[in-house]
Amino acid sequence: MLDYPALQALVAVIEARGFDRAAQRLSISQSAVSQRIRQLEFKLGQPVLLRTSPPRPTELGQRLANHLQQVQQLEQALSTDDDADKRLRVRLAVNADSIDTWLPQALSAASVSRRMDFDFVVEDQDVGLKRMKNGEVMACICASEQPVNGGLAQYLGSIRYRALASPEFKQQYRAQLAGAELDQIPCLIYSADDRLQHRFLQAQGVGDPKYNHLCPSSYGFVNLALAGLGYGMMPELQVQPQLRSGALVDLVAGYEMDVPMYWHYWQTESPALAELRQAVVQVAQQHLRLG
Amino acid sequence: MLDYPALQALVAVIEARGFDRAAQRLSISQSAVSQRIRQLEFKLGQPVLLRTSPPRPTELGQRLANHLQQVQQLEQALSTDDDADKRLRVRLAVNADSIDTWLPQALSAASVSRRMDFDFVVEDQDVGLKRMKNGEVMACICASEQPVNGGLAQYLGSIRYRALASPEFKQQYRAQLAGAELDQIPCLIYSADDRLQHRFLQAQGVGDPKYNHLCPSSYGFVNLALAGLGYGMMPELQVQPQLRSGALVDLVAGYEMDVPMYWHYWQTESPALAELRQAVVQVAQQHLRLG
């Protein structure tokens, strides 16, 4: 059995960003906090915390912190009414385009989410499942259909993407558009894991983009397109005002890409997380495309 | 002197996400690419590339890649008209709130940026300078006034932040607002490095937030506030439509926080980067608050 007081000390140090504040929070001495964590590391034979400023968990430390959250959730399911006000920390891996568009409304619709503190880990839709496999998160929204070991997946609907640019940008690159040299047109890429622009070019029968700007911030991504620095794949849901006003237009008329989204969860799901999932699925199906 | 063909091989593997595509790009064999990188590592006595899929640079590898960019820029300053069309890769550390608001327009105003491919490294405004210290980036926008060794800093103006929430959220927590228990109100935090909400609470005379949602995506951050899950510090520039429509309101009337921004650059700045800096400074001063 794991040493749970040591896990609590670990989580307190991470959340309070220091040993002294963790000690205050737990109402024990700072040396007691250090000792618990050292003993935990001794037993496990590897570090759980990097002694940086502020301290950060190792990969193992993060897995233990997440495990403690899951145990606390299971405890909450046993709890009496006295504890009903207690808030839960819920760590979710989500793709940026979900948290940037439909997900906040879905969480807001779930009454259970009023008792949750969310910790969103933003990963590309094609790699978020790694966080689930590593046991770092309690649920995951991503494009993979296949559940992880010990997990299940539920279909949410699809996000529709379009390749969008400013009208001035499209005008500037009209020669490349006409000449089917789309790989010569600068594009925006969200992160090294973001392959949507590559898939768009592939569908147009050309190779990888020759020029690109890498921008891992979503407002920045849209604003770089508006400012005419590149085109990029954006969810329709995210840029409805810009599509209506004509500030963003399709680079290739009629091109659309639908990416399916799944909610991945553990078979040992707590009642609170089941309630959250059911509410999220319901709202997702109002915003995403089904098919 | 460094082995520049080996550095080019390293950068090609990183950018093309593989040894085979790097070899194609350089028009040499795949084994020549591998050999150059192995020899580089042998000379330096440490790895420059993690052999993952796709391969990723080590910290040293990233510094070497950035060094190659700087050398290429210096070369470009010597170049003849024939090379004028060649695009430069420019790696910048920026705070999310700059790339999300005024920076795209500033870049768009600089004619030199039409010949640049930007690689934005998004870091909190208080920590971006680390990337500059490590030599990983060619310039940095952050809140620190003090230049790094070998660098200079130029003032850009300040970003004005307000603590904003939906009107329904403010109504829901009116008791905590009236009772000066602001630390009991759930807040949004962008990342572990984001201390703006803590500074807001400090200015109100209360301690750290008891409850928070961590959301490292900027549209998500604003949409979580709109959906009523928490309040957060947002740049006025980012949410002008929501402020006008009343969808977001001040949690504490009249509270504002101005955070100064600086452009950090190297004393060995290339002519192209100097041109970029001058254009950015000029546009920044139209959008940011001076004083």
**Least CB-CB distance to A215: which of B99, B215, B217?**
B99
Q: Does A234 touch chain B (CB under 8 A)?
A: no
Q: By percentage, how much of chain A surpasses pLDDT 90?
A: 66
Please say whether the beta carbons of B91 and B69 come within 8 A: yes
Query: For position B83, what pLDDT does the model report?
Result: 52
Query: For position A76, what pLDDT does the model report?
Result: 66
Query: For position B77, what pLDDT does the model report?
Result: 63
Residue of chain A minimizing CA distance to B21: A208
**Least CB-CB distance to B96: which of A100, A113, A217?**
A217
> Chain A partners of B104 at a C-beta cutoff of 8 Å?
220, 223-224, 226-227, 229
Residues spanned by the domain of A179? 159-258
Query: For position A117, what pLDDT does the model report?
Result: 94
pLDDT in tens, A82-102: 555 678 889 999 999 999 999
DSSP, collapsed to helix, strand or coil, labels residue A42 as helix
Query: For position A27, what pLDDT does the model report?
Result: 86
Q: Does B101 touch chain A (CB under 8 A)?
A: yes
pLDDT in tens, A232-281: 999 999 999 999 999 999 999 999 999 999 999 998 888 889 999 999 99
pLDDT above 70 for A80? no
pLDDT in tens, B28-76: 899 999 999 999 998 888 899 998 888 989 888 988 888 887 777 777 6
**Least CB-CB distance to A119: which of B100, B208, B214?**
B214
Nearest-CA distance from B208 to chain A in Å? 9
Q: Do B186 and A96 touch (CB under 8 A)?
A: no
Query: For position A160, what pLDDT does the model report?
Result: 97
Q: How confident is the model at residue A79 (pLDDT cuts 50, 70, 90)?
A: low
> Chain A partners of B223 at a C-beta cutoff of 8 Å?
99-101, 103-105
Surface of A (245-284) touching B: CB under 8 A:
none
Nearest-CA distance from B104 to chain A in Å? 5
Among the candidates B38, B61, B84, a domain finishes at B61
Please report the ipTM that was assigned to this predicted complex: 0.80
Residue of chain A minimizing CA distance to B216: A122
pLDDT above 60 for A151? yes
Query: For position B63, what pLDDT does the model report?
Result: 85
Residue A72, Cβ density class (10 Å: 0-12 exposed, 13-18 middle, ≥19 buried): middle
- Residue B110 located in a structural domain: no
Please tell me which residue, A82 or A208, carries the higher pLDDT value: A208
Nearest-CA distance from B195 to chain A in Å? 11
CATH of the domain at B19: 1.10.10.10
Query: For position A150, what pLDDT does the model report?
Result: 87
- Residue B34 located in a structural domain: yes
Nearest-CA distance from B21 to chain A in Å? 11
Mutate to test the interface with A, among B193, B224, B234, B283 (most CBs of A within 10 A): B224
Taking alpha carbons only, the member of A267, A266, A256 closest to residue A291 is A256
List B141's β-bridge partners, or say none. B263
- Residue B205 located in a structural domain: yes
pLDDT lower than 70: segments of chain B: 76-85
- Residue B239 located in a structural domain: yes
Query: For position A136, what pLDDT does the model report?
Result: 82
DSSP of chain B: ---HHHHHHHHHHHHHTSHHHHHHHHTS-HHHHHHHHHHHHHHHTS-SEE-SSS-EE-HHHHHHHHHHHHHHHHHHHT--GGGTT--EEEEEEE-HHHHTTTHHHHHHH-GGGGGEEEEEEE--TTTTHHHHHTT--SEEEES--SPPTTEEEEEEEEEEEEEEE-HHHHHHTHHHHHTT-GGGS-EEESSTT--HHHHHHHHTT--S-SSEEE---HHHHHHHHHTTS-BEEEEGGG-HHHHHHTSSEESSTT--EEEEEEEEEETT--HHHHHHHHHHHHHHHHHSBP-
Q: Does A237 touch chain B (CB under 8 A)?
A: no
Structure tokens belonging to residue B159: 């970003």
Q: Which residue has the tokens 């759930």?
A: B186
Query: For position B78, what pLDDT does the model report?
Result: 63
> Chain A partners of B96 at a C-beta cutoff of 8 Å?
217, 219-220
- Residue B264 located in a structural domain: no
d(CA B291, CA B287): 13
pLDDT above 60 for A183? yes
**Least CB-CB distance to A120: which of B17, B215, B228?**
B215
Query: For position B220, what pLDDT does the model report?
Result: 96
- Residue B185 located in a structural domain: yes
Q: Do B227 and A100 touch (CB under 8 A)?
A: no
Among the candidates B61, B91, B109, a domain finishes at B61
Q: What is the 3-state secondary structure (H, E, C) of B86-135?
A: CCEEEEEEECHHHHCCCHHHHHHHCHHHHHEEEEEEECCCCCCHHHHHCC
The stretch A9-36 carries a mean pLDDT of 90
- Residue A205 located in a structural domain: yes
CATH of the domain at B232: 3.40.190.10
- Residue A238 located in a structural domain: yes
Question: Cα dist. A241→A218, A238, B1, B241 in Å?
Answer: 15, 8, 54, 11
Number of domains making up chain A: 1
